[in-house]
Amino acid sequence: MRIFHNYKSWEDWHDGLYATVYRDEQRGVQLASRLLGNPEVLGPAMLRVVTAWPVAAEVNLSNVSRNHQAWIGQACCSYFCGVPEFVTKMAWWTLTDDQRAAANEVADSVERVWVSNRTPQLEIMCQNES
């Protein structure tokens, strides 16, 4: 079930995830690359952001047409490194294929945790609508 919220309530929007300029792109790419390239740090960081940003997570992860791996990674880099999504996209291409695959696996596992935590709440919502 896709869930909508006005963008003004999105934590990622308030944090600057969708900004179109960033003062030091080279430094931002380095920070984001370091985070994305380290699965041991990335996993807990991704779990933290989907918890800290419940509205943005709900909007983005309930949308089946959204790239969930990309949003989780971009949100994580915004939350912990202070970089917008376009900087994270540049950082992504500095990683090796193995690092990108590992980051995607971490994002998939975080999404599974998010979904499993949401399932009881969604079941209650659906039962109340019947």
What's the pLDDT at 130? 47
CA angle 56/61/66 to nearest 5° reads: 105
Work out whether the CA dihedral 115, 51, 63, 32 comes out positive or negative: negative
User: What are the pLDDT digits (tens) for 30-62?
Assistant: 999 999 999 999 999 999 999 999 999 999 999
pTM score, whole prediction: 0.87
The percentage of the chain sitting over the pLDDT mark of 90, rounded to a whole number, equals 82
In the block, tokens 């979904």 appear at 115
CA angle 86/15/98 to nearest 5° reads: 45
